Amino acid sequence: MRASEVTSSSAFLRSTERKWLRKFEPAFYIAPAFLVLILILIYPLGYSFWLSFHRWTLRDFVNGVPWVGLQNYISLFSNPDFLASLRITFTFLISAITIEFVFGMGLALLLNQTLKGIGVIRSIILLPMMCTNVVIGLTWRLLFNYEFGIINFYLSQLHLTPVQWLSLPNLAMVSLIIVDVWNTTSFVALMLLAGLQSLPEEPFEAARIDGASAWQSFRFITLPLLRQNILVALLWRLIDTFRIFDVVYLLTAGGPARATETVSMYVYNYGFKSFNLGYASAASYAMILIMLVIAGLLARSIGRTYT
């Protein structure tokens, strides 16, 4: 009797232990990853959001970080320099992405052909995408150098006037666009190529039978069917281009005369040069908000395409 009591008691314990294990075991396994995530992602995000409502400057943060409410956001949107950086960012973004999509589509159509050595060509075209932005920035800075750059060298060989790629306000923006187009057109091409290769053959055959021209097939069949891929690539490129920093920093540092000061450069200058972290955090959140609105609209379009 006594032995059976012990047995039933230990069975009960084992069963409770199993239930407890079943309930909490997964939490223990994911805990390290979750803790790391909180530390490196959620905490900084939350802290910078908190900072955006406070005044934090290098010279007085040891005396406290006072609450300033929406003051940083109000200052931000009444600051002509921030509004100028928004305008510059959108000019850059619209110009670069438009060119990338035109070139990317052309490349994707070319790569979609069954030509000899197309695999090698595809690999070569992807090379710019594999370079790090720091290498790209430094290399193009040398290429664009007015006195010693290879581009001006060949222009002078052709008896053309050397170009001040990085020292004239308007041309500096053009130079940035050239670099971005060079760097990411292959990405757009890759996304569109994936779409092209998944298109069904039937609509094209029907169009051919009905006597549609190549342009008509492209305009009325290829483009509508590629809509989903185009939107995904567009969303990706918008997010990526909106936060461009390293190439701008290395090529122009936002100059000349702030002509290429994108929002990221603006945030960097306030955050890490002036060490006005409250204000810089507000600018970062304004950036995120703007991007969220744009990305949300695009995501809805993508969703509609799916349905």
Partner 1 sequence: MSKYRLLALLVMLAIVLVACSPAASPTSTLPQATNPPAQTTPIQAAPEATTPPETAVSTGKLPPIVVACWSGPEHDNLVKVAAAYTEKTGNQVTVEEIARESYQDKLNTTFVAGGSDYDVAYVSSDWPPAWIKANALQDLDRYFNDPNVVDKNFDIKNYQPAINSFVFNGKTYAFPSEGDTAWMWYRKDLLEAKGIAVPQTWDEYLAAAKALNNPPQIYGAVIGAKPDEALWDFMFYLYSFGGDILDKDYKPIINNDAGVAALTFYADLLQKYKVVPPDVITYGYNEILTALQEGKAAMGIEWMAATQTLTDCTQSPKVCKDGQPLLGYTFVPGYKKADGTVVHGTGGSSWGWVIPSGAKNGLAAYKFIEWLTGPEGGKMWALNGGIPSNQLALNDPEVTQKIPQFKMLAEVMPIRHLVPPTTVTGDMVTAIDEAIDAAVSGTKDPKTALDDAARKMTDLLTQAGYIK
Nearer to partner 1, 137 or 195 (CB): 137
Is 274 a binding residue for partner 1 by CB under 8 A? The answer is: yes
Contact residue for partner 1 among 8, 60, 106, 197 (CB under 8 A): 60
Q: How far is the CB of 238 from partner 1 (least distance, A)?
A: 27
Q: What's the Cα-to-Cα distance from 238 to each of 7, 116, 247, rounded to whole Å? A: 66, 34, 16
- Between 259 and 290, CB nearer to partner 1: 259
Q: Which residue in the set 6, 8, 19, 35 belongs to the binding site for partner 1 (CB under 8 A)?
A: 35
- The answer to whether the bond into 256 is cis (omega within 30° of 0) is yes
- Residue from 23, 127, 147, 201 in contact with partner 1 (CB under 8 A): 147
Q: Decide: is 257 part of the binding site for partner 1 (CB under 8 A).
A: yes
Residue 14 makes contact with partner 1 by CB under 8 A: yes
Query: Segment contacting partner 1 (CB under 8 A): 95-103, 140-148, 183-191, 219-227?
Result: 140-148
Name which position in 211, 215, 273, 307 contacts partner 1 (CB under 8 A).
273
In the chain, alpha helices (H) = 2-37, 43-51, 71-77, 80-111, 118-125, 127-130, 133-144, 150-157, 169-197, 202-209, 214-217, 223-242, 246-251, 263-268, 277-306
- Give the C-alpha separation, 39 to 190, whole Å: 35
Q: Which stretch in 25-33, 66-74, 123-131, 212-220 sits in contact with partner 1 by CB under 8 A?
A: 25-33
54: β partners: 67
Q: Contact 81/274 with Cβ under 8 angstroms?
A: no
Stretch that binds partner 1, among 21-29, 69-77, 92-100, 238-246 (CB under 8 A): 21-29
CA–CA separation, 169 and 175 (whole Å): 10
Count of chain residues binding partner 1 (CB under 8 A): 38
